[in-house]
Amino acid sequence: MIVPTKKLFEVAYGKFAIGAYNINNLEQAMGLFRGNIESRAPFIIQISKGARAYTHKKMLEALIRAAGEIFPEAIFAVHLDHGDEETCYDCINSGFYSSVMIDASHEDFETNIAVTRRVVEAAHARGLVVEAELGQLGGVEEHVKVDEANAKLTNPAQAESFVARSGCDSLAVAIGTSHGAFKFSGDQRLRFDVLEEIQKRLPGFPLVMHGSSSVPQEEVERINQAGGNLKGARGVDENQFRRAAELGVTKVNIDTDGRLVWTRVHREYFLEHPENFDLRPIGQVFMSDYAKFIAHKNEKLGSAGTLEEVRKSISG
């Protein structure tokens, strides 16, 4: 069942975080639904602009509709990830999405507010909610001076004013994470001090953590042993998700880790089965491993086991 993103946030806020997982294809869709059902968790399916262009935007919509029928117990929202203004309007008008993200974080503060405001007006008119972003994600390298590093992070005072003036419904904050598999070069951590300050200024307001893949070292090692070259790949400590959730992080974005599962499964399989050229056996292995991976993430996010509570709260 596709539900409004807002409903998921209302149930989860302060208690657990909802996993927001990107998908591009059939195997990811099936693994995602299976993993969430097995761990009894609500979830958010994220579709990026690149994912919409990979086959066809209608293909992903059809896949998700079909998966929703195959797994009628599933409770999920469909969200546009890192949208530009044009893509946001396309998703809002499609009638299929639960929420959109307008990412104008690369713009100056005033332009970010103005663009976000326009998308919010269009989305609210159709009953959708909007995620916006303030601050710059990006690895805060160890050699970078504290002032320079802080300048990239979300400024808590600006966050308060940004939310009031843009009307956005959730906010992606930069607290030290970055996209991809190479997040940290040394001993950096999430900046909980910044997150705490943001939550003080925006109590009860859903915050979003992008760049939250943990880049499991076992996956990286296995990929490298099977011919890959991902030396130095590192991610966020997944044991920190619960603390982030207590501080208002209600949505945690994970994409890279799923790609690592895909890469490990395929590299190992073809190394061990050089004679094989059938796509289905390996597809089965991936779907099964991806489902296990999703269930594990949901345990770490605290969303595992909350499906019935969420169902009650949505229908009640």
Residues catalogued as catalytic: 81
Query: 44 vs 287, which CB is nearer to Zn ion?
Result: 44
Give residues with Cβ within 8 angstroms of 213, minimum separation 6: 180, 181, 183, 235, 236, 254, 255, 256, 257, 260
Structure-token pair, residue 219: 């996956």
Q: Measured between alpha carbons, how far is 46 from 294 in angstroms, rounded to an integer?
A: 14
Per CB under 6 A, which of residues 108..167 are in contact with ligand 13P? none
Candidates 40, 210, 251, 297; binder of Zn ion (CB under 5 A) is 210
Q: Measured between alpha carbons, how far is 48 from 82 in angstroms, rounded to an integer?
A: 6
Query: 112 vs 177, which CB is nearer to ligand G3H?
Result: 177
Q: What are phi and psi of 129, to 5 degrees?
A: -105, 165
254 binds ligand 13P (CB under 6 A): yes
Query: 81 vs 169, which CB is nearer to ligand G3H?
Result: 81
Candidates 27, 81, 131, 133; binder of ligand 13P (CB under 6 A) is 81
Residue 196 Cβ, how far from ligand G3H at the closest point, in Å? 25
- Distance (Å) of CA 284 to CA 162, 249, 292: 45, 33, 13
Give residues with Cβ within 8 angstroms of 100, minimum separation 6: 79, 80, 83, 87, 88, 91, 92, 119, 123, 128, 130, 131
Name the H helices within 140-255. 146-152, 156-166, 192-201, 217-225, 241-246
99 binds ligand G3H (CB under 6 A): no
133 binds ligand G3H (CB under 6 A): no
53 binds ligand G3H (CB under 6 A): no
Residue 81 Cβ, how far from Zn ion at the closest point, in Å? 6
Candidates 28, 213, 250, 263; binder of ligand 13P (CB under 6 A) is 213
Residue 99 interacts with which of Zn ion, ligand 13P, ligand G3H, none, CB < 5 to 8 Å by class:
none
Mask 5-44, x = binds ligand 13P (CB under 6 A)?
-----------------x----------------------
99 binds ligand 13P (CB under 6 A): no
Query: 210 vs 234, which CB is nearer to Zn ion?
Result: 210
Residue 219 interacts with which of Zn ion, ligand 13P, ligand G3H, none, CB < 5 to 8 Å by class:
none
Structure-token pair, residue 118: 């326009």
Candidates 11, 17, 19, 22; binder of ligand G3H (CB under 6 A) is 22
Candidates 82, 183, 234, 251; binder of ligand G3H (CB under 6 A) is 82
Closest CA to 93 of 76, 80, 108: 80
DSSP state for residue 280 in the 8-state scheme: H
180 binds ligand 13P (CB under 6 A): yes
Q: Measured between alpha carbons, how far is 47 from 206 in angstroms, rounded to an integer?
A: 20
The answer to whether the CB of 171 falls within 8 A of the CB of 155 is: no
251 binds Zn ion (CB under 5 A): no
The answer to whether the CB of 153 falls within 8 A of the CB of 134 is: no
191 binds Zn ion (CB under 5 A): no
DSSP structure string for 13-80: TTT--EEEEE--SHHHHHHHHHHHHHTT--EEEEEEHHHHHHS-HHHHHHHHHHHHHHSTT--EEEEE
Can you give the binding site for Zn ion, defined by CB under 5 A?
A: 210, 253
Summarize as ranges the residues that interact with ligand 13P (CB under 6 A).
22, 81-82, 179-180, 210-213, 253-257
Residues that bind ligand G3H (CB under 6 A): 22, 48, 50-51, 81-82, 179, 255
